[in-house]
Structure 1
Amino acid sequence: MKALPSTLGLGVSMTIGYGTLYYSFSVLAPEIAREFGWSQSFVFAVFSVGLLGGAVSAPIIGRLVDHYGARPVLAFGSIFAAAALALLSKVENGWQFAMVTLMAEFVSIAVQYDAGFAALAQRYGQEARSQITVVTLVAGFASTVFWPLIQWLLTMMTWRDVYLVLAALNLALALPVHALWPSYRREIAGAEQGASDTARAESPSRRTQLVLMAVSLSAGGFVLSAMGASLLVLLGDAGYTPAIATLAGSLIGPSQVGARVMEYVRRGVLSPPVTGLIATGAIFLALSLLFAAALVPAVAVALAFAVFFGIGQGLTSIIRGVLPLHYFGAAGYGRTMGTLSGIRMVLSAAAPVTIIFVNEQLGVAAAIGCLLVMGTVGLVAMIGLSRLPSLPTDAQR
């Protein structure tokens, strides 16, 4: 299946969703803290609490997508995201900042992968895998685009004005893409099929699949969130110079993109569960290498860690979307994604502060050891999931 213009547009809108509501924070937080005289730890603690708001909203937004279709959820999500960003430019105290940040992260789910993948599942059904991969390829450049863009904007305006620009991007670029998204909902043909889906949804097999999927994706989310926030700190404490740590970090992005390109090219060769095993296996191997690098610092080991971690990170974003489709189908996809995302985001929000605390109290080897344990849990759960049957073939039609 070719990458359609609407899918590329959705990739651009997802880039804006992540760039304005997630990646912008790490650049603007120091400016906000400086103006109000707050510590950066307070500002980032508020952001972590905001991420928990996203965990609460994920199941709600998933159900809205199932009930009303993806287009209105995406469109209103862009409007509310713009409103939240505009309000951030007006905050005058800590309580206002906390409340508006919570509002922004609560609505972020409606303009990021969860809603975007649901839109593709509704439109393409079991054939959505390639389109999901395309969206992750485009949106994977969100940090690459928005970090330098926001830094450049800060040379010409205040952080408050930057938030107004980010709000305008949601209205000017993302909203048209979402408003023009085809109003199409894949329906299950016939009452018998509907009854079959209900029975399958309540079956012990489905519950087992859902639990294993939630465990694997949540463990992976914990690792990715912790590493995104603390990688350079961990490598520095392990004895690597800033130059080597930065070099290792710079290899993650290209490895991530390379893995997604290979997934797109060979999407018909490997099943989603096999791709899931590769993703979780790559993360487990990467963390094993990082643990070894913490015990015996070696540049080659640190660089090998970065390559494998990039592969695992790149594929994890894809399996988040394709595994629920593979095992449960398009019916109720939004609700399933919302449930999985809610659990994953709770752990993701807690990960950075947990790993930094362990690192400060027990040392870098203990912190990386905790990450390795989570990587092991994710891999074992994925192995168990891969042994379970997928959605019956007749339900995929």
Structure 2
Amino acid sequence: MQADRIDKASLQHRASTTAEGGEFTRGWTILLASLIGIGSGLVTLPFYTFGIFAPHLARDFGWSMGEIMAGLTITTLALLVAAPVAGVLCERYGARLVSACSLALFGLCYISLATLDGSLTRYYVTWGVASAVGAGTLPITFTRTVNRWFDRHRGLALGIAMMGTGLFGIACKPLLAWVIADYGWRTAYAALGALPLLVATPVTLLLFRDPTDADVRSASSPLTPLTGFSRSEALRQWRFWLIALLLIPLSFALAGTPPNLESILSDKGLDPATIIKLTPLVGLASITGRLAGGFLLDRFWAPAVAFVILSVPIASCLILSGGNLQPATAGLAIFLIGFALGVEFDVVAYLTAKYFGMRSYSAIYGLFYVCFTVGAGFAPLAFGMIRDAAHDFSPALLTCAIILPISAAGFLFLGRYPRFS
């Protein structure tokens, strides 16, 4: 009997080990395509590069910081409609087709920014069109498929898929600084547009796909079933409205600083060379946050993980709003806010799958993304307007330091994960 128990335990351990390895063995192409697609999409390129192009647009066209950052607000307004539509299209036609078409069109729109002629109207229209056609590059599409392929290590898989934003954040600033210095900002816009068009689109078509019935039957470890709430059922759940309401202030508090980071550090007296060295820390911290957050999400209650990590940037806001900023403390502030940014999208994707299931995942996540874009889209404009009025970013940063802990604490009311039959 003792030997039977030992053999049974050994077989269970071996099966568990096979299941763990099986998820990544079968799904590595999905993760690679998601990493490249998300890292080349609408959630990444504008967010990390607006601050780089802003001084050049202001110098050449005489636009104010508020007028330039309003481009992100236009993006927000377009996504209020485009994000839910992308989610519905993804449910109907599949994530692969929607994301590939969207990446190609988004790349073309970005390339068109290289031909700006000083017209603010054209600048805003371009961002509106880029946001509408680029909504399929958002995590709405890619995380739906990642959630299907991964179950036991879903949090870590989501973190790896979202690492593309951090990798781009590390590489883009020094590379764009070099391209702009040698070839001008127009060439830099064209180079950015080539990334989704010529790199991410072919990779998505070759490597990215939803699981089929044959995959389900042959899987060595379970695939996530398409169970859960429909979109209309989710809208009748109080948890849906709690998450939606929390995302607006949280995204505002987290998204205002990175696009204005160069200007914030410059106002504090740091020289351009130091700023170029420090700002890539956002991307490095984002990667660290995604991996650490994914590891924690697989092992602990997700709302508690969200509360702890999303409260961390309070220190960043206080440091950046103070006087006599040193490079070391500035680097710490940048790392902390990047760490939290690396978790937010992953947390929303994880909570959506856990509390609402996969039946209408993309449609539900698309609605959550609207809430995110409302806060994140208006934050850079608000920061720019405050800077224009007060000649200082400190009032905006201190406001965010208050918003973060209050909003993050709201996740603690979500309760247990429901079970779907």
TM-score by length of 2: 0.76
3-state secondary structure, aligned to 1:383: helix
Q: 1:44 aligns with which of 51, 65, 69?
A: 69
2:166–2:284 CA contact under 8 A, matched in 1: no
Cα distance in 1 between the residues matched to 2:156 and 2:91 = 21
Aligned to 2:353: 325
Cα distance in 1 between the residues matched to 2:143 and 2:35 = 10
Please state how far the C-alpha of 1:279 moved relative to its aligned partner: 2.0
| Deviates most, 48-57 or 302-311 | 302-311
Please state how far the C-alpha of 1:276 moved relative to its aligned partner: 1.3
Change (3 A) 1:200 1:185: farther
Aligned to 2:125: 99
- The alignment status of 1:375 with 2:399, answered yes or no, reads no
Change (3 A) 1:128 1:284: same
Aligned to 1:242: 270
Please state how far the C-alpha of 1:318 moved relative to its aligned partner: 1.7
Aligned to 1:337: 365
1:256–1:310 CA contact under 8 A, matched in 2: yes
Aligned to 1:314: 342
Deviations for 1:2-43, whole angstroms, at most 9, x for unmatched residues? Answer: 371331232122222255444344333444444444445433
Change (3 A) 1:143 1:297: closer
Cα distance in 1 between the residues matched to 2:280 and 2:231 = 48
Aligned to 1:11: 35
Change (3 A) 1:194 1:326: closer
Aligned to 1:257: 287
Residue-pair matches, total: 382
- The alignment status of 1:169 with 2:195, answered yes or no, reads yes
Aligned to 1:137: 163
1:11–1:138 CA contact under 8 A, matched in 2: yes
Q: 2:381 aligns with which of 353, 356, 368?
A: 353
* Amino-acid identity (%): 19
Cα distance in 2 between the residues matched to 1:129 and 1:225 = 22
1:215–1:381 CA contact under 8 A, matched in 2: no
Deviations for 1:321-355, whole angstroms, at most 9, x for unmatched residues? Answer: 21111111111111111111111111212112324
Q: Which residue type is aligned with residue 29 of structure 2? A: P
Q: Which residue type is aligned with residue 229 of structure 2? A: D
1:19–1:146 CA contact under 8 A, matched in 2: no
Change (3 A) 1:221 1:73: same
Cα distance in 1 between the residues matched to 2:35 and 2:347 = 16
Aligned to 2:322: 294
Deviations for 1:283-335, whole angstroms, at most 9, x for unmatched residues? Answer: 34655x549x7399899876665554343222223212211111111111111
Change (3 A) 1:175 1:308: closer
Deviations for 1:152-199, whole angstroms, at most 9, x for unmatched residues? Answer: 3334434434433333332221111221312437999xxxx9997359
Q: Which residue type is aligned with residue 182 of structure 1? A: R
TM-score by length of 1: 0.80
- The alignment status of 1:178 with 2:204, answered yes or no, reads yes
Aligned to 2:113: 88
Aligned to 2:7: none
Change (3 A) 1:46 1:198: closer
Deviations for 1:99-140, whole angstroms, at most 9, x for unmatched residues? Answer: 112111223331132322123234446753322110122331
In the TM superposition, 1:70-81 aligns within 5 A as: 70-81=95-106
Gaps of 5+ in 2: 1-22, 217-224
Change (3 A) 1:380 1:16: same
2:30–2:146 CA contact under 8 A, matched in 1: no
Cα distance in 2 between the residues matched to 1:20 and 1:303 = 22
Q: Which residue type is aligned with residue 416 of structure 2? A: P
Aligned to 1:197: 229
Cα distance in 1 between the residues matched to 2:261 and 2:145 = 33
Change (3 A) 1:353 1:12: same
Q: 2:48 aligns with which of 18, 23, 26?
A: 23
1:282–1:309 CA contact under 8 A, matched in 2: yes
Deviations for 1:350-389, whole angstroms, at most 9, x for unmatched residues? Answer: 112324444644976643332123213312311222xx23
Larger Rg over CA atoms: 2
